[in-house]
Structure 1
Amino acid sequence: MTNIPETGRTPRVQIRLVVIQILVLSLLGTLGGRLWYLQIRNGDEYAKEASGNHVQQVVQPAVRGSILDARGVPLADNETRLVVSASRTDLMKMDDDGEAVLTKLAGVLGMKPKDVIEKVRLCDAKTPQPCWNGSPYQPIPITDEATPKQALQIRERSEDFPGITAEPEAVRRYAAPGEANTAQVLGYLSPVTDEEITEAEDTDSPYLRSDQVGRSGLERQYDKELRGKAGVTRYEVDNLGRVIGKAESDAAEPGSNVVTSIDARVQRVAEYELNEAMVKARQQFDKITGENYKADSGAVVVMEAKTGRIVAMASNPTYDPNAWVGGISGKDYTALTGKKSNYPLLNRAIQGQSAPGSTFKVVSTAAAVEAGYEWDGGYPCTSSYSVGGQVFKNFEGESFGPISLGRALEVSCDTVFYGLADKEWKKDGGINPKKGEPKDYFYKAAHQFGLGQETGVDLPNEVTGRVPDRQWKQDYWKANKDAWCKSGKKNGSYTEKIAYENCLEGNKMREGDSINYSIGQGDTLVTPIQEAVIYGALANGGTMHTPTIGKAIISADGKTVKEIKPEVSGKLPVSKATVKGMDKALAGVVTGGTAAWKFQGWPQDKIEMHAKTGTAEVYGKQTTSWLATYSKDYTVIMTISQAGTGSGASGEAVRNIYSAMYGVQKDGSIDSKKALLPTPEKDLPKVKSDGSITAPKISKDPAKDLQASEEDETGAADGDQPAATTSPTGTGNRDTRRRGARPKKRRRALT
């Protein structure tokens, strides 16, 4: 056996020792570098975070500001209710995810266990309402209608209800004064989401997990002003969570009040008259379809003609915004958003768009004058207008012979506008326009009147409507060409033939397109708020205003008042002489034209009324009723889908709205004592030194409202209740804030 010398192993051992030494030194260097980074380089930052582990925050939600009508009457405010909430974090620590606790809670509250459990599940793409779309780390409200007895049971048996709280909280209330619902204008609240919290972190108005935010209407538009700033109290605690001291704290700042130009009394009348008009329309027989009118939706706008301020805005079907307070139920959510709901959450005054029918003729009249046609020219008003093999009829085949543009407006003669639009189409080169830009007077006039774009009203999600000019046709053709070419047939059904024609030349301005467009038919779409701006401009001599609902922002202490001034958005593209001619013609619509039968006996010599009726045809549906009107003070626009003619469906309702505002009686006399708003409200509500706002009471009877207003000015009569007061914290007095006076949640959409 050969012996290996020991000296042969020494170099290997030495190499291993060197490697180990290098590894040890590397580890020590890494640890040293890390310690330097933690203790020196970022020491202050981590020290600050570590200290935060011993500080707990308690959030005091800010009281949300009130939304008031023009006289200070609360449309949306707050009241104190007993709210039962569940901590999802605590429930998830239980073996059954808190199901047993929630089932027991349901028994105390008189609710179904399924409904309670659904309230605390988190919303996602697969989870239907009801569910919680707010932060999972904040208490989730189960009910805001707990009785004192129920709250006492929960608090006295806290060991049986871990993670459950029952506390008095300020809760949003949509007061509906005098049954003025104002739902789509006000909007509603829901909890802030984690995504919204993250997005707002670096803004000047960050969210807290406990915040409720506006989701539509004024609640969303003025959310920042209404929300205020939550208070935060910080406590120093030990590692066992025991409070050992109080750190700094920030007091809660209540939100500001938003004063609107809405008059709750006129709002109530507008809502009532719109609903009544729809109910009556459903009782009328439609000869064309062979069944009664459906009158499935509608809207009305009442606007100050000289400022653009909105006095009333109603949309039907409507709903009760109180349904969202404290979390919406599955039944209510389905009623508001399901396919059979007819979508009451839509504000059809700014989101409902349809062909305007003959109310559009004021635009076509302006276009004709701009194109060089004389106002007093003799234009043939025949019973029909023929182009090739197609016949375009006048309404009910009427014929008035040669008439002026003003007379054409007054009697709403379709064939006059057919002829003018057809001539301009031919001058522009017909289906293959001449080189260079066509004049397109009729289409350019619509844009100059503000159509095809938002009016800028201070409400979210306004739609633009549509002006089907050459650019729109080109864009629309590109988007739909493939579908048209696939489904179109030369000798197929009506819709297949249309698709076939559109496939070939849907991007070209055809003769029939321009003819239909001239009377507000075809692809033209407008909204009621756009019509209000146009007819308001005609009322005031030609100035278009940006419609506004917000009138002022008043801080909770009343010390800061920021007025929202009316803004001019443009001028009508017509001369003063043309505006004057239109004004005279539209007055003639009331006295001898298409609206005369609904305004018989109206005191035209004292309150001059102007109107334009519209009956828009919609393929596959019954006709849409439009009535656009104005006096020297106000513009009232009403539209009802599938309800028949403009004056037939809407005439009586619109007249009743004016009668209520001006105090016009059935016999045509004027009783100023019964006039709700004979002139627009100019002043803001009076703010007291403590920030509270005194407002008149609103009853269901307009006469009582007027009497109360007179008593407020001279002093309340013996035995009368004082006027309602909105306090800076939004709690108000017992007369208007007592629990029994709170409107009950309606469990269905209202029609």
Structure 2
Amino acid sequence: MDAKILVIITGAILVIAILVSLVMMRRNPNRFTYDTAHGTRPRASEGEGNTSQVAFKGRFTMLAAGVGAVFAAIFAKLWSMQMVSSDYYEGLSNQNQTRTVTTPAPRGRILDRNGTPLVTNRPCLTVAAYRSLAEDTVTVRHLANVLGMPYIAVKRNIQNYNESAQSLHTVASDVRRSTVAYIQEHASFFKNVEVVERTERYYPYGSLAGHLLGYTGTITSEQLEKQDDDENKSAGTIAYKSGDIVGQTGVELQYERLLQGIRGEQTVQVNAAGAVTGRSGAVPAEPGSDVKLTIDLSIQQACENGLAHAIQIAKQNGHNTNRGACVCLDCTNGEILGMASSPELDPSVFIGGVSNDVWNQLNSEDSGLPMINRAISGQYMSASTIKPLSALAALKHGIFTETQTTMCSGWWTGFGESDGKWCWLHSGHGTMTLRNGIVHSCDPVFYDIGKGFFYDKDNPEGLQEMYRSWGLGSSTGVDLGGEASGRVPDAKWKSEYFSSWSESDRTWNGGDMTNIAIGQGDILVTPLQMACVYAGIANGGKEYVPHVFLSAVSRDGEGDTVTYKPKERLKGDFAKESHLNLVRDGLKGVIYEESSDQASHFTSLSTTVAGKSGTGQKTNEDDYSWFIVYAPYDDPKYVVASLVEEGGFGATASLYAVRDVLGAIYGEPDTAGTTAGDGAR
């Protein structure tokens, strides 16, 4: 407000005050009278007492004082605004003319352990516009024709209410250069339309490690609400806004805080309607930190290709399957070197949003539910891969000794003929020690163990306790979301889970115990859990927390800012070192003694291998194929576990995935061909 306006307002106040006085005086024209008897000297028409004229005079004085006080206050405020707070109000005026909007920051890259990019960013030309353009129907329709997009789609993108009105709204990404050139050459026809260069996620190796890496997408309303929850706030937490691109699964989600960059800022001028009329100073965005994983690209490729090979072999053997998992661990520190899940997941389909049709397909049973990372979320019967733990439990509690034997005729009748059970080899194995029971996966040996625990009053759940001590029935703590815990069933669980059954039917019985002793029945495990178990067996009982994070690379690219330190998860239970050595020796025997066909795949390796096959059974489905190994036998370093759903016997499908991974690690591919037969379980 300038001085002229202040003078005008002050003059107006004085005029109003005079007019008020005149009006009030005219309301009583007979206030004075003439004394005709004593001349022309005026006299008061009434006496000096408490008359109506005196009262009116008092009220007029009070009114005048009140009016004066009001105008004095107004004058003081005007003076304050002009002389004292002029800078403050000038600042408010400027704020009403400008807005500060944020600009997106490139996400950090995801690298393998050797620095090879698994996920990076690529520049893309983007056509963007301010929301006010939506009111210009002619320009919007012209733009839609040039982009080859439906008019309503272009208008909806321009109006996008996930972003502020003053932000540039993405209309189309990855626009052809010829289209960009046309828009720029005819800029007068495309007011409030701009071409900007932004970045999008790029996957150099396609769908490789798609489940592990995860995908990004626009932040959801649920994620924004969770952010506002005080309980989830902490120092350094990124304040997200509607429209931000964030990690949704896998590493992209788990390490969002590292990968998410720091937004830039752009100051824009706006008119009274809020439409952008110009731009001024800007602060550039800072890219997120690069994240280096424990994954080795060559081993990851071997896991993916090996799993595909195993599935192909299963199909050749008459099994209709496309589902499975393969995991490779470093047993000395818990690093995940490779992790594959089938059907594969291509993260690139989520760039720019995924259609309902594609989303439904990704979650369809007919498509094999490709959204599931079966390595950590798939829950399966462990089959014979659990037999080493059953042996350790039996040795610890004296249920079965190192020299004890079982006579396997192919049909076990430990609970009577009516409750008899077959060995997988119906012709029988003959006399079996515990060590040879592991080597040949002889079921009656482990039926005897289950029966022993069922009748053991001192340790009726010694078998379950052994399983739990090696981590079964609980999550491994892997730094990937969606991990399943599996299940170790016992009497309490059965009673509660089948609560609608009769009391006799939900009572834990001998058949339940013999089932879990061979990895069948109600026991559930994940491929990662079993890989950790075998890592513990190879490593003297010690299991590390499995992880994919190795380090975070500083934003300037010079060195690592955060490095993962291995964490011991647990120490598996066993009574004596000799017990563990018996189990290890039995696992080596599985590879080289159980079947000559099976051994032929591993004798071509320069290192000695130990492991176990497994064949899970499920009603109305084909057998589930398991194979788990560790190597070298004398100085363990690697564990490889594979599962093929409905793939047949372990040695007829999953073996090939495991052998292909070992071949990639040691540079010694499998030369045996597809020779393994049904004689190996």
- Give the TM-score range, shorter chain: 0.7 to 0.9
- Aligned positions of 1:507-656 closer than 5 A: 507-559=506-558, 561=560, 562-574=562-574, 575-593=576-594, 596-600=596-600, 602-603=602-603, 606-631=606-631, 632-656=636-660
State the 1:59 CA deviation. Answer: 1.8
Distance 2:402 2:169 in 1: 66
Secondary structure of the 2:208 match is coil
- Aligned equivalent of 2:476: 455
Q: Percent of counterpart pairs with the same letter?
A: 29
Moved more, 350-359 or 647-656: 647-656
Distance 1:136 1:246 in 2: 18
Counterpart selection for 1:83 from 107, 122, 126:
126
Give, as a single letter, the amino acid of the residue that structure 1 aligns with 2:594: G
State the 1:109 CA deviation. Answer: 3.3
1:89-147: CA deviation from partner (whole Å, max 9, x where unpaired): 446656xxx7x87665454334566876787898xxxxxxxxx9x55866554543211
Distance 2:412 2:583 in 1: 24
Distance 2:194 2:388 in 1: 62
Secondary structure of the 1:396 match is coil
Distance 1:118 1:279 in 2: 46
Counterpart selection for 1:377 from 395, 398, 404:
404
- Aligned positions of 1:158-557 closer than 5 A: 165-176=194-205, 181-197=208-224, 199-200=226-227, 203=234, 204=236, 205-234=238-267, 251-285=284-318, 293-372=319-398, 373-386=400-413, 387-388=415-416, 389-428=418-457, 439-478=460-499, 481=500, 502-557=501-556
Distance 1:538 1:240, change over 3 A: same
- Aligned equivalent of 1:657: 661
State the 1:260 CA deviation. Answer: 0.6
Distance 1:166 1:450 in 2: 55
State the 1:601 CA deviation. Answer: 5.7
Distance 1:246 1:549, change over 3 A: same
Give, as a single letter, the amino acid of the residue that structure 2 aligns with 1:357: A
Could you tell me whether the CA contact under 8 Å between 2:123 and 2:197 is conserved in 1? Answer: yes
State the 1:544 CA deviation. Answer: 0.5
Could you tell me whether the CA contact under 8 Å between 2:111 and 2:119 is conserved in 1? Answer: yes
State the 1:331 CA deviation. Answer: 4.4
Distance 1:462 1:238 in 2: 52
Secondary structure of the 2:626 match is strand
State the 1:239 CA deviation. Answer: 5.1
Secondary structure of the 2:654 match is helix
Aligned-pair RMSD on alpha carbons?
A: 3.5
Secondary structure of the 1:415 match is helix
Distance 2:394 2:88 in 1: 73
Distance 1:300 1:323 in 2: 23
State the 1:326 CA deviation. Answer: 2.2
State the 1:325 CA deviation. Answer: 1.4
Moved more, 68-77 or 193-202: 193-202
Secondary structure of the 2:489 match is coil
Q: Pick 1 or 2: higher relative contact order, CA cutoff 8 A, min separation 6.
A: 1
Distance 1:112 1:546, change over 3 A: same
- Aligned equivalent of 1:495: none
Secondary structure of the 2:653 match is helix
State the 1:667 CA deviation. Answer: 5.5
1:406-432: CA deviation from partner (whole Å, max 9, x where unpaired): 11111001111112111211224xxxx
Distance 2:170 2:255 in 1: 24
Could you tell me whether the CA contact under 8 Å between 2:128 and 2:193 is conserved in 1? Answer: yes
Could you tell me whether the CA contact under 8 Å between 1:180 and 1:268 is conserved in 2? Answer: no
Distance 1:118 1:352 in 2: 40
Secondary structure of the 1:166 match is strand
TM-score by length of 2: 0.77
Could you tell me whether the CA contact under 8 Å between 2:409 and 2:427 is conserved in 1? Answer: yes
Distance 1:141 1:239, change over 3 A: closer
Distance 2:303 2:573 in 1: 31
Secondary structure of the 1:342 match is coil
Distance 1:47 1:568 in 2: 63
Distance 1:647 1:49, change over 3 A: farther
Secondary structure of the 1:467 match is coil
Counterpart selection for 1:109 from 147, 150, 156:
147
Distance 1:105 1:363, change over 3 A: farther
Could you tell me whether the CA contact under 8 Å between 1:598 and 1:652 is conserved in 2? Answer: no
Distance 1:245 1:320 in 2: 39
State the 1:54 CA deviation. Answer: 3.9
Distance 1:230 1:161, change over 3 A: same
Distance 1:539 1:85, change over 3 A: farther
Distance 1:119 1:275 in 2: 40
Give, as a single letter, the amino acid of the residue that structure 2 aligns with 1:75: L
Could you tell me whether the CA contact under 8 Å between 2:542 and 2:568 is conserved in 1? Answer: yes
Could you tell me whether the CA contact under 8 Å between 2:266 and 2:279 is conserved in 1? Answer: no
TM-score by length of 1: 0.70
Could you tell me whether the CA contact under 8 Å between 2:113 and 2:294 is conserved in 1? Answer: yes
State the 1:368 CA deviation. Answer: 1.0
State the 1:296 CA deviation. Answer: 2.9
Give, as a single letter, the amino acid of the residue that structure 2 aligns with 1:81: C
Could you tell me whether the CA contact under 8 Å between 2:267 and 2:279 is conserved in 1? Answer: no
- Aligned equivalent of 1:145: 174
State the 1:250 CA deviation. Answer: 5.1
Distance 1:154 1:330 in 2: 31
Distance 1:183 1:557, change over 3 A: same
State the 1:661 CA deviation. Answer: 1.2
Distance 1:180 1:593, change over 3 A: farther
State the 1:307 CA deviation. Answer: 1.2
1:34-74: CA deviation from partner (whole Å, max 9, x where unpaired): x9xxx9xxxx9999988753441132322211100011000
Moved more, 407-416 or 163-172: 163-172
1:382-401: CA deviation from partner (whole Å, max 9, x where unpaired): 31223352321100314223
- Aligned equivalent of 1:727: none
State the 1:522 CA deviation. Answer: 1.0
Distance 2:157 2:364 in 1: 19
Could you tell me whether the CA contact under 8 Å between 1:65 and 1:227 is conserved in 2? Answer: yes
Secondary structure of the 1:213 match is strand
Distance 1:211 1:348 in 2: 29
Distance 1:583 1:59, change over 3 A: same
Distance 2:584 2:91 in 1: 72
Give, as a single letter, the amino acid of the residue that structure 2 aligns with 1:362: P
Distance 1:84 1:246, change over 3 A: closer
- Aligned equivalent of 2:84: none
Which has the larger Rg?
Answer: 2
State the 1:376 CA deviation. Answer: 2.6
Secondary structure of the 1:424 match is helix
- Aligned positions of 1:53-72 closer than 5 A: 53-72=96-115
Give, as a single letter, the amino acid of the residue that structure 2 aligns with 1:528: P
Distance 1:385 1:620 in 2: 24
Distance 1:521 1:186 in 2: 32
